[in-house]
Amino acid sequence: MTRLLGISGSLRRGSFNTSLLRTAAELAGDGVTLQAAGIHGIPLYDADLEAEQGLPAAVVALKDQVAACDGLLLVTPEYNNGIPGVFKNAIDWLSRPNDDVKRVFGDRPVAVIGASPSGFGTILAQNAWWPVLRTLGTRPWFGGRLMLSRAGKAFDADGQLVDEAARENLRVFVAGFADFCRRG
């Protein structure tokens, strides 16, 4: 069984990216599980807080989930042509302390997808993630790209992905990423 972990980088209740992640989990094929995680409860990174109190419980729990998965899927919004601050903040916390980076991220297969109401999808946010993920020592999958643009038309009012072409693209993407993770 290939165990994928997807993290939605949005805090919004009606997030297109959380809906995209939920749909990806539903479309994961045989032999693949895709667990959905979020970044709620992770405070702004503060080295003084870390030194005085250690890692917050939400950070420890998410780190353990990442360390236990066979592949990590970042589901990123795009804010002002870049990575959302809250999502980058969560990944910064997950990289603490430095001597734990290898356990959490080292050579871990990772892929990035995203949904946006704009016509350009999340291409700039996805591109901005690659230097961060390289620094963390991950093994990025470049075998596919998925940037769902005009997400407001692709999802219904209940957050269900109703665009059949987008659903098929997502199914193929998840299958390809799972295969990449299995090949090691």
Whole-prediction pTM value? 0.97
Give the per-residue pLDDT at 158.
96
Query: Distance (Å, rounded) from C-alpha 98 to C-alpha 112?
Result: 23
pLDDT for 160: 97
Question: Given this model, what pLDDT does residue 144 score?
Answer: 84
Q: How far apart, in Å, are the Cα atoms of 84 and each of 79, 108, 150, 184? A: 6, 22, 18, 30
pLDDT of amino acid 148: 97
**pLDDT value of residue 22:** 98
| Run means of pLDDT, 10 residues per run, the chain, 184 residues | 98 97 97 98 96 97 98 97 97 97 98 95 96 97 93 96 98 98 91
For each of the domains in the chain, give its residue range(s) and CATH number, in order of start.
2-183 (3.40.50.360)
